[in-house]
Structure 1
Amino acid sequence: MDEPVRHICGISGGKDSSALAVYMRGSVPEMEYFFCDTGAELPETYEYLTRLEAILGKPIARLNASRGFDHWFEVFRGALPSPQMRWCTKNMKIKPIEEWIGDAPTVSYVAIRADESNRKGYISTKPNIESRFPFIEDGIDHDGVMQILRDAGIGLPAYYEWRTRSGCYFCFYQRKAEWIGLSERHPELFERAVAIEQKVLQDAGVNGDADFGEQAMRGRQYTWSGGETLVQLRSRREEILERHEATMARANKTRANTPLVEALANALDDEDDALPCTVCTL
């Protein structure tokens, strides 16, 4: 007898994956929802997942890596994860997903929108996993995603007031203004990120005021945010926020009556257009 096909939908805590979960709930009754919990997520993310479970009428499986950040941090000899070496994504997101799926034939529904079809989400190379893109297939863009969330009555996670990407509180893809937002909204989490960074610098014998260009030459990530430590970044709070507010004003001027989340996204993208890891941030 053939093994039944599993249908799965990953939820990152971001707007797109959450909208896809809501969108698919009626058409695929047997859908299994999952969330890769690194243990370093924002409190707003956990709160939003609880609300989403009520909307879906189903639990969202929490997939925890068998080894946490501290373990992999030591394995990689104290090197922070970076765009060039995303060991956090591989070991704390992708591995738990594929272990949870196993060898069963599986259809994975990925929340890439119709207006961003050039982006890549989690697409497994395992032969038993087939990826589908309902938003692309049905022509659902950013406005469509927002409408789905409004119609469901769930809206956006609270962190969208200051940050537009889900993921770990110490994610290296954060923009400068988002780090400042973390320091003000969750100072205890910011201090944890500072402590991790300071340990890296101390172990490497790098002076926090040194020229961090040396780290690029060695291919090693010494700081969470490019070119400066979090302590240095925080000392530039006024400068960063002034620039951010000016960029927000330009974004609003370009398109009148722009919703906060769109103006924030436009402003942050202008400040830093680095694409995040879509396994974490859809």
Structure 2
Amino acid sequence: MDDGSTRHVLSLSGGKDSAALAIYMRDRVPNMEYIFSDTLKELPETYEYLERIEDYLGKRVHRLNADLGFDHWYDVYGAMIPSNHRRWCTKMLKLKPFEQFVGDDPVVNYVGLRADESRSGYISHKPNIKPVYPFQEDGKKLADIEDILRTSGVGMPPYTKWGRSRSGCYFCFYQQKIEWVRLREHHPDLFEKAKAYETTYAASGNTFTWSERESLAELERPERMAAIKADHEKRKRRNVERGANLTLAQVFAGQDADGEDDQAACLICTL
């Protein structure tokens, strides 16, 4: 039983599920603490979305990492950009700031996994943090989450209007090729900044790239972007013909039903 000393914390990622959960829990847990781990490399639409959420909640979302963003840890790790095999960004920019914010207080951490998802959340092993899953407990699925966002007036994250499927850093290495093309078209300045990180790693002499087996300089060639777009449209048509049952992320990214999706991504960044 909660004796009043337990803190209630909900982490917002800038994605639809955590936004919907914040709306869903607003009147159920009035003393909820809302936090956002700011890498300082988020899309401008993400910050806009957080302001919308704050307006609805009537409460400020506490920003973590106000002084130590991505570039600080990028320097600490010797200018080695993160990847699926080097996910220092999740550890240093998301998990550690959250655990420092919580400290040793007893905490209930609210996680936005839906009832129609089979994946599990990335949970801290600290014994004072208890994760709970209100959407799963209440049987809320994707259609319910979309309804919560629509009826509240908060709506879907604005970056979905130009086809990005996920929140997180604008240079997230989990992006699909088509999402890099869309970033190039809608935020060319951010694309250029992402390109600047693709330098030779002094310790090994290797050049690490954000997108697997392809640098952003190669990806942005007109003929290559045209080929990515054509493949994207082909996948969309194939999925329609097959009647494929896709996740929302797969729809935005134009993936096949058996292709890679958000199951692989850092949940703390994308929920």
Q: Please report the TM-score for the alignment, with normalisation by the length of structure 1.
A: 0.86
**Matching residue of 2:191:** 190
Q: 2:180 aligned with 1:179, yes or no? A: yes
Q: 2:266 aligned with 1:280, yes or no? A: no
Q: Per-residue displacement from partner, 1:42-78 (whole Å, max 9, x unpaired)?
A: 0000001101111111111111165332232232222
Query: Once structures 1 and 2 are overlaid, which stretch shifts more, 24-33 or 62-71?
Result: 62-71
Alpha-carbon contact 1:6-1:107 (below 8 Å) kept: yes
**Matching residue of 1:225:** 211
Q: Secondary structure at the match of 2:213?
A: coil
Q: 2:113 aligned with 1:125, yes or no? A: no
Alpha-carbon contact 1:65-1:92 (below 8 Å) kept: no
Taking structure 1 as reference, are residues 231 and 266 closer, same or farther at Cα in structure 2, changes over 3 Å only?
Answer: closer
Percent identity over the alignment is 50
Q: CA RMSD in A?
A: 2.4
Q: Take 2:210 and 2:243, find their aligned partners in 1: how far apart are those partners? A: 33
Q: Which runs of 5 or more structure 1 residues have no equivalent in the other structure? A: 209-221
Alpha-carbon contact 2:183-2:190 (below 8 Å) kept: yes
Q: 2:108 aligned with 1:107, yes or no? A: yes
Alpha-carbon contact 1:65-1:91 (below 8 Å) kept: no
Q: Take 2:94 and 2:142, find their aligned partners in 1: how far apart are those partners? A: 25
Q: Take 1:180 and 1:265, find their aligned partners in 2: how far apart are those partners? A: 13
Q: Take 1:269 and 1:43, find their aligned partners in 2: how far apart are those partners? A: 29
Q: Secondary structure at the match of 1:103?
A: coil
Alpha-carbon contact 2:250-2:256 (below 8 Å) kept: no
Q: Per-residue displacement from partner, 1:175-232 (whole Å, max 9, x unpaired)?
A: 00000011111101100110101x23688544x7xxxxxxxxxxxxx11011111111
Q: Which runs of 5 or more structure 2 residues have no equivalent in the other structure? A: none
**Matching residue of 2:31:** 30
**Matching residue of 1:149:** 149
Aligned length: 264
Taking structure 1 as reference, are residues 147 and 254 closer, same or farther at Cα in structure 2, changes over 3 Å only?
Answer: farther
**Matching residue of 2:229:** 241
More helix by share: 1
Q: Per-residue displacement from partner, 1:129-165 (whole Å, max 9, x unpaired)?
A: 1110001100111111111111111111111121111
Q: How far did residue 122 of structure 1 move?
A: 3.5
Q: Take 2:62 and 2:179, find their aligned partners in 1: how far apart are those partners? A: 28
Q: Which amino acid aligns with 1:111?
A: G
Q: Per-residue displacement from partner, 1:216-257 (whole Å, max 9, x unpaired)?
A: xxxxxx11011111111112100001111222233345559x
